[in-house]
Amino acid sequence: MLTGLNPENTANPYDIAGKIHNDILDAYLTGYHTCSTIAQVSQKVDSISALNNDLLNLGTSSPVIYGDIQEIIDSPQTALEQAIANSPMTSTAKDCLSGFMASMLLWQDDDYSVIHQSIISFEASVLSNAEFSNEEKRIILTTSSITRYAIYYTKERKDKDWETSVGNRVGAVQGAVANSSTAVKRSTVAGIMIQNLQTQ
């Protein structure tokens, strides 16, 4: 258990997205649900999400597209590259988000305090970047918030066989292009499905 450190970054205006991700994940895992298909997991996440007022305040989420989740499961790196390439961002913002995702692979074995500080520094650079539009900042900062909280969840639950993977972050990127609410749901469903496959 991590002591004295929590995953938040109040400087990130989309910090709530990561918090909601962990709240929904917690509700799902503590309910000991035995969903095995993308449709079942998605429906259960929807029913949990409907009770989360913070998520409702983020706006109406787009439905989870089962084929997109399957692509994340089958080939997370390709799905990530496609999600970034197909986003409406400028090439500079796409490069920024791609670089952040690549960095996560380098940081994953570090202590959470180091990862947390690295992500907060990244978020500060995004916030101060005058080249990025508000929408580009929203997509990048929603993704980084969910990533920061998801990694905290992994580190906190070491003893409980929960792993987060690139799939979880791909779901965040895919969903963030639509809106922050969709990012939370898609990331959660992708993460649970990949976890299910690892523990079968």
* Residues 136, 180, 87, 174, Cα dihedral to 10°: 140
Provide the residue ranges of all domains of the chain, joining segments of one domain with +: 15-199
Q: What is the pLDDT of residues 27-64, one digit of tens each?
A: 998 987 888 999 999 999 999 999 999 998 888 888 88
Residues for the chain: how many in total? 200
CA–CA dist 190, 64 (Å, integer): 10
pLDDT at 159 (0 to 100): 44
Tens digits of residue pLDDT in 156-200: 765 444 555 678 889 999 999 999 999 999 999 999 998 887 766
pLDDT at 63: 87
DSSP per-residue string spanning 60-114? PPPPP-HHHHHHHHH-HHHHHHHHHHTSSS-HHHHHHHHHHHHHHHHHTTS-HHH
CB 44 within 8 A of CB 33: yes
Tokens of 17: 């997205």
pLDDT score of 106: 84
Closest CA to 186 of 136, 139, 154, 152: 139
Single-letter code of the amino acid located at 171: G
